[in-house]
Amino acid sequence: MIHPQTPLVLHGYFRSSASYRVRIALNLKGLDYDPVEVSLIAGEQRSDAFLEQNAQGFVPMLVAGDDVIIQSMAIIDWIDRSYPEPRLIPDDPMPRAVALAQANVIACDIHPLNNLRVLKYLTKDLGLNEQTKDRWYQHWIIEGFEALEAMAGEGRYLGGDAPGIADCCLVPQMYNARRFDVPLDAYPRLVAIDAACMEVDAFQRAHPDAAKPA
């Protein structure tokens, strides 16, 4: 377990889905951290200073004392191992597999196809118009949500009776779906779980509107 006084600094972008899910995880753990805004629009993630710490040039990046952790799912796993309560990833093999499978529908199958660098490539390099780009974005959310709706259990959260790693991933993706006008009527379980999560202070404080720089 990491010493509770270890300073945590989260480098992220307020609207980044991956940064959003890490903010949720930190809040669910009740951890204090210093946020550092990295503007993806201004390209600050490609600055020399940032690349010295994070060769991939992505957000989020968590600095814990002298340690640097990148990739949101690795960061959440590190948080969960370092600060075990409340658990975000179950220890038992089968519940753990279920939680990670749910989370990875979003983190591995939806989000990578729809992140900002891919959308920029579609429009600037491949010449797609905004309408076609939006169709691309909506398609991959719909495909993933169809699977995730079927994978959702009967609990209040994807994580069961308490939010877990899958909920940390779901809520930012629901936010994105609404931004891009994805119809959500076909996903009543996901809508209900998202609503339950947004009643929790940890999710409210992680929302982009709360994290946006003044």
142-199 pLDDT per residue, tens? 999 999 999 999 999 998 999 999 999 999 999 999 999 999 999 999 999 999 999 9
Do 52 and 22 have their domain in common? yes
Nearest CA to 60 among 21, 109, 107? 21
Domain match, 28 and 45 both: yes
Whether residue 104 sits in one domain with residue 75: no
Instruction: Please write the tens of the pLDDT for every residue from 106-158.
Output: 999 999 999 999 999 999 999 999 999 999 999 999 999 999 999 999 999 99
Q: Are residues 109 and 177 in the same domain?
A: yes
How high is the pLDDT of residue 2? 64
Report the distance separating Cα 210 and Cα 214, nearest Å: 10
Q: Check whether residue 97 and residue 81 sit in a common domain.
A: no
Which helix (H) or strand (E) is 114 found in, with range?
helix 111-114
User: Are 80 and 114 part of one and the same domain?
Assistant: no
Whether 134 is covered by a domain: the verdict is yes
Instruction: Please state, in angstroms and rounded to a whole number, the distance separating the CA atoms of residues 152 and 170.
Output: 11
Helix (H, G, I), strand (E, B), or coil: what is residue 26? helix
Same domain, 197 and 106: yes
Question: What's the confidence (pLDDT) of residue 3?
Answer: 62
- Is 161 inside a domain boundary? yes
Nearest residue to 18 (alpha-carbon basis) of 50, 45, 55: 45
- Residue (of 205, 176, 193) closest to 102 by Cα position: 193
| 195 & 98 share domain | yes
**Cα–Cα distance, 105 to 147 (Å, whole number):** 8
Give the CA distances from residue 109 to residues 34, 54, 91, 115, 140, in Å, rounded to whole numbers and listed in that order. Answer: 30, 23, 24, 11, 8
**What is residue 97's predicted lDDT score, i.e. its pLDDT?**
98
Same domain, residue pair 62 and 155: no
Q: Are residues 105 and 164 in the same domain?
A: yes
Question: 106 and 69, same structural domain?
Answer: no
The token pair at 32 is 């204090």
Same domain, 83 and 175: no
Query: Domain tally for the chain?
Result: 2
Domain containing residue 100: CATH number: 1.20.1050.10
3 part of a folded domain: no
- Whole-angstrom CA distances from 183 to 28, 110, 112, 133 are 29, 16, 21, 17
The alpha carbon of 63 is separated from its chain's Cα centroid by a whole number of angstroms, namely: 17
The reported pTM is 0.95
Look up the CATH number of the domain holding residue 75: 3.40.30.10
Q: Provide the edge-to-edge strand list for the sheet that holds 8-12.
A: 34-37, 8-12, 61-64, 67-70
Q: Tell whether 1 is covered by a domain.
A: no
Domain assignment present for 44:
yes
What residues make up the domain containing 133?
A: 93-201
Is residue 2 in a domain?
A: no
Task: For residue 17, count other CB atoms closer than 10 A to its CB.
Answer: 24
Q: Is residue 181 part of a domain?
A: yes
Query: Is residue 59, in this structure, part of any structural domain at all?
Result: yes
